[in-house]
Structure formats: C-alpha cells, structure tokens
A and B are shown apart, each in its own frame.
Chain A
Amino acid sequence: KQEVTQIPAALSVPEGENLVLNCSFTDSAIYNLQWFRQDPGKGLTSLLLIQSSQREQTSGRLNASLDKSSGRSTLYIAASQPGDSATYLCAVIGGSTGGSEKLVFGKGMKLTVNP
C-alpha cells in the first residue's frame, strides 16, 4: 500500500528565506507526483505536476524535483513571502499494487512565513 510522508508537519520562517519542503513515498512505481497548496477553509490548488519520466518542474518561484528511485520529492520555494503561508500537500498516483488512478496524499506541511 502506497504511503506518503511529509516531514516536518509545520514550519515557521522569516520572510525572504529559501525553503525546501520534503515528501517521501514508499512505492516508487508511480505515474506522477503533484504538489498542492491549501489555504485555511479552502480547497486544494494544484501547484506542480511531475510525470514519472521527469526530474523537475518549475513555476515562478516554485521548483519541484522528483527522484523516483529513492521515493523522494522536494518543493523549493525561493524568496518566501507571507502570502506563501498555507498548507502544502504532496500526492502521488500509481504504485505496483494498483491504485493507478487514485491520488494518495501526505498529511501536509503547514508553512508560516512571518513578515
């Protein structure tokens, strides 16, 4: 059964820092990995999607990398801003035991960027 872990569960940093958010998954036979952002009381917003054949994806100040063989992904946030404060969730689709069409989420990491 695919399991996704995000550590730490929460992070508080001053504005301007470059951040690295970590995600690990137990079954490396994934189709893709997605990073989402969730603001309090809101739904999820897709940030980046990395196909299993890709190593990284970039969007603005965000860069996500994928090392499928080691079961790890990182989300890099450059020059963090207070508006980046939210919960960031990592999710994967696929695995050797099926579930090829189901997103499996981590518990998320709550980020607070202080002005």
Chain B
Amino acid sequence: EAGVVQSPRYKIIEKKQPVAFWCNPISGHNTLYWYRQNLGQGPELLIRYENEEAVDDSQLPKDRFSAERLKGVDSTLKIQPAELGDSAVYLCASSLGGTGRKTQYFGPGTRLLVL
C-alpha cells in the first residue's frame, strides 16, 4: 500500500515569493491534515479536512496561507507571500474515519527554506 505522498521534498525561495505544496493521502483516507514543524519542535496542526471540507483551520495564518482539497482526495497548501519565519517542514498526514482519534499516517514532508 502506498503511503502519503508529498511534493516537492525541498524548496528554497526568496521572501515575498509564493510557494505551494502538494499532498496525496493514502487511498480511502477521508481525513487529511497539514502540519508545520519548526526545527527542534513537534508538529503543529495548520488545517484538518474531512473529505473536501476544512473542519479545523483555526491555526492557519489566513492572511498568507491557503489550502484546498478538491474532490476530497489531493490537497494543496499555499503560502503567498512567504516570510523568513515560514522556514519549516510542512507535513501532510491522513487517517481513516471521521475523527482525528484514528492513527495518523504521515508523509515525508516538504522542507521549506525562505531566504
């Protein structure tokens, strides 16, 4: 069974530029999560989707971050414009079932460096 797929794996951009990350969850997993992990910290949830609906985006900085999950499968997370403090690893995870209480399966992450 294929795991959670993310691309790109690495991205280096200059500040004020836009950037987008893509995630393909495990087949059949209706719950999808985006996390941000700063160096030396645990991941922090940015947004959670149940199918195509964003049910928890309270931690998403909406002035510059946006996300979408068309057709309830793949998802894209965008930052525009990027700031130096956005340098981090962006992790996508998915789980089966309607709550976050199920085991979450993580992708390898996208490592973003903003110069």
**Are B4 and A102 within 8 A (Cβ)?**
no
Contacting pair A49 B103 (CB below 8 A):
yes
Residues B99 and A105 in contact, CB atoms below 8 Å apart: no
A44: Cβ under 8 A from any B Cβ: yes
Size of the B side of the interface (Cβ < 8 Å), in residues, is 24
In chain B, residues 88-114, which have Cβ atoms closer than 8 Å to a Cβ of chain A?
91, 93, 99-101, 103-109, 111
Q: Is B72 an interface position by the 8 A CB rule?
A: no
Determine whether the beta carbon of A101 is less than 8 Å from that of B48: yes
Given A32-B101, A43-B91, the answer on whether A103 and B107 have CB atoms closer than 8 Å is no
Of the candidates B42, B55, B56, B111, which one forms a contact with A91 in the assembled complex, judged by CB atoms under 8 Å apart?
Answer: B42
Q: Whole-angstrom distance between the alpha carbons of A32 and B99 in the complex?
A: 12
A33 to chain B, nearest CB (A): 11
Q: Known contacts A102-B56, A103-B43; can you find 13 more A-B pairs with CB under 8 A?
A: A32-B101, A41-B111, A43-B4, A43-B109, A44-B43, A44-B93, A46-B105, A100-B101, A101-B48, A101-B101, A103-B45, A105-B43, A106-B42
